[in-house]
Amino acid sequence: MSRFVRSSKYRHVFGRPTKKEQCYDNLHISRNAWDSNLIKANPKYLSVNWESGGGGAFAVIPHGERGKLPDQIPLFRGHTAAVLDTDWNPFHDDIVVSASDDAKIFVWKVPEDFTVHVDEEELPAKEVKPEARLSGHQKKVGHVLFHPAAEHVLASSSGDFTVKIWDIVTGQAKLTLRVRMPTRIPCIQKAASNK
């Protein structure tokens, strides 16, 4: 039997925690059990499914606003149930969509010079309302995903076992696919190849 220590190139590698001022602190991330993205990012912002009462909400946080967030921040509200997923438009960094337990998809535009640091008396005026509403699913919408190469094309999957392809400019579902599965649709993803 050998009595030497097995060598590894990772043996003496240790991680260092990031400084607090370089982290995002005081996030109220949703405790919803749906298997979807709780946080999504694009080159300018993070979107975070927010734990809130009185309907669904999510927060948008500019990348430069690290550190401890205020206790009250402007939220993107409009859904009547929990927000389950968000996705950023790959062609427009200020456009985000949200999917919810209320079977709706909302399209949002982040205001110019948006910040999470506002005075408490300004807070209700800074809450953002949706630009458009996409309706057509019968049950909760668990996943939304923009097409990476086609502008304004969005895919969504729902608890009603459908996948819809949307044109977000017209707000119309251009294609509806019924999926036969024993349980809910676990995810939607663009195929890696074009074959």
Chain center to CA of 18: 24
Q: Taking residues 72-91, report their average pLDDT.
A: 92
Q: Tell me the average pLDDT of the chain.
A: 86
* Residue of 153 and 186 predicted with greater confidence: 153
Tokens representing residue 173 in the block: 């579902």
- Beta carbons within 8 Å of 79's beta carbon, 6+ residues apart: 55, 56, 57, 98, 100, 101, 102, 104, 106
Q: Are 167 and 174 in contact (CB under 8 A)?
A: yes
**pLDDT score of 193:** 59
Closest CA to 77 of 25, 130, 131: 130
- Among 159, 194, 162, smallest CA distance to 175 is for 162
CB 97 within 8 A of CB 86: yes
Averaged over 107-136, what is the pLDDT?
Answer: 87
For the record, the structure tokens of 10 come out as 């990772």
Would the pLDDT of 23 be above 80?
Answer: yes
- Kindly report the backbone phi and psi dihedral angles of residue 177, in degrees, each rounded to the nearest multiple of 5, phi listed first: -110, 125
The owner of tokens 């925690």 is 17
Sketch the domain layout of the chain as residue ranges.
Answer: 22-133
175 contacts 186 by C-beta, under 8 angstroms = no
Answer whether residue 125 shows pLDDT above 70.
no
Instruction: Give pLDDT, residue 17.
Output: 86
User: In the structure, what pLDDT confidence band is assigned to residue 32 with cuts at 50, 70 and 90?
Assistant: confident
Does residue 194 surpass a pLDDT of 60?
no
Strand order through the sheet with 172-178: 141-146, 153-158, 162-167, 172-178
d(CA 137, CA 154): 14
Task: Give, in degrees to the nearest 5, the angle at Cα 50 between 86 and 94.
Answer: 40
pLDDT (0 to 100) of residue 29? 87
Q: Tell me the backbone φ, ψ of residue 22, rounded to 5 degrees.
A: -100, 0
Residue % of the chain over a pLDDT of 70: 89
Task: Look at residue 132 in the predicted model and tell me its pLDDT.
Answer: 94
CA atoms within 13 A on the CB side of 98: 34
126 vs 139, residue with greater confidence: 139
Task: Over range 38-43, report the average pLDDT.
Answer: 93
pTM check: above 0.75: yes
Of 190 and 172, the structure prediction assigns the larger pLDDT to 172
